[in-house]
Every structure is written in structure tokens, then in C-alpha cells.
Amino acid sequence: MMITATATAAAMLMLLQQAPAEGTDWDAEFGVEQKQRDPVTGELPVDPYEQSNANAGAAPYDSAKLVADFGGREGIARIAARTVDLSEADPRIADIFAAHDMVRLKRTLGEQFCFLLGAGCDYTGRDMRSAHAEMGVTKADLNALVENLQRAMGEAGVPFSSQYRLLAKLAPMSRDVVVR
């Protein structure tokens, strides 16, 4: 009887160790929900939150020259997108960006910059504390992001004095972004 029980156990173990069937949808097997991108915006859905320009983190400037220095709304959007692209490729902080919706990030970062620079945009993103919760952003991470923003602004030909004005609006937000 002992041999039969041992043989049965060995057979069960062999069955369990076999390679899974090809074509198995493991996400479906384990109930992993796949989020579908919006067909119009390309963004992943997010949980509801209160949208307000106050979420941008500061009051906007009122300077047509400043907006012009950034290339208007289109230039501001390009700078935001370039900042995200540089950050995604930056080995110092790429991991922070890997699990996030880059389409949404480029749009909301562009809106934030546009709002803060006084270009007449509304900011529809989350407040800084909520948006960065659970990311574990360090001061070094934020410094790398700022370097990427400065590079994007430099590539776009934004004068240093105008770059510093945007950075002056963003700097106090570090209290809500950096957690360690």
C-alpha cells in the first residue's frame, strides 16, 4: 500500500510540474482586470476626483511675454511632453514612470504648466500630494526631473529668466511630492 500511495503522490507531483498549456490567459485565470484605453484620448481610466485649478499647486502668472517665451500653448505642451520623454529614458528615474499612463501624464503636465504660466488653460489633474502618493519620490528623483525639465526648456529656446519663473512656481510643490 505504501508503494501505491508513493506512486500516486509522484504522479500528482509530475502533473503539477508540467508546463502550462499554451495560449493560457493567465490574467483571466487569476482575475487580473485589464484597463482599456479611451479610444479618443488614449488614456487609461482613473478613479474619480475633484477637478480644480487649485490642484495645479499655485496661482498663475499674468504675463503674455512669459507665455510667448514658452512658445504659447503649443510650445508649453511640447516642453511638457519632452520632459516626460526625457524622464522615461533617464535611468535615475525611469522606474518611477514605468507603471504610469504617459499619455495622461503628458496632457496633465502640459495643462499644469499652461495654467501656471498664465496661458489660459484649465488644469484637470490631481493635486500634487494625491498624484504622487505611494510613489516614494526622493529629493534626488525630483532633482533629476527638474534637470530634464530644464533640458526641455533649453532645447525649446526658453530664456533662462522665464525658465526660473516656472521653476519658482513648481519648487514649493516639492513638499507635497518628496516623501523620503
Q: What is the mean pLDDT of residues 28-52?
A: 74
- In a 13 Å sphere around the CA of 85, the CA atoms on its Cβ side amount to 9
Q: How confident is the model at residue 163 (pLDDT cuts 50, 70, 90)?
A: very high
Domain boundaries, the chain: 62-177
**Between 63 and 18, whose confidence is greater?**
63
d(C-alpha 4, C-alpha 117), whole Å: 79
Three-state DSSP at 136 gives coil
Q: Is there a contact between 70 and 116 (Cβ–Cβ < 8 Å)?
A: no
Q: Is there a contact between 152 and 86 (Cβ–Cβ < 8 Å)?
A: yes
Q: What pTM, to 2 d.p., does this model score?
A: 0.78
pLDDT at 90: 97
d(C-alpha 171, C-alpha 148), whole Å: 14
Q: How confident is the model at residue 28 (pLDDT cuts 50, 70, 90)?
A: confident
Q: How confident is the model at residue 30 (pLDDT cuts 50, 70, 90)?
A: confident
d(C-alpha 34, C-alpha 81), whole Å: 26
Tell me the CATH number for domain 62-177: 1.10.490.10
Q: How confident is the model at residue 134 (pLDDT cuts 50, 70, 90)?
A: confident
Q: How confident is the model at residue 3 (pLDDT cuts 50, 70, 90)?
A: low
User: Does residue 92 carry a pLDDT above 90?
Assistant: yes
Mean pLDDT taken over the chain:
88
Terminal CA-CA length for the chain: 62
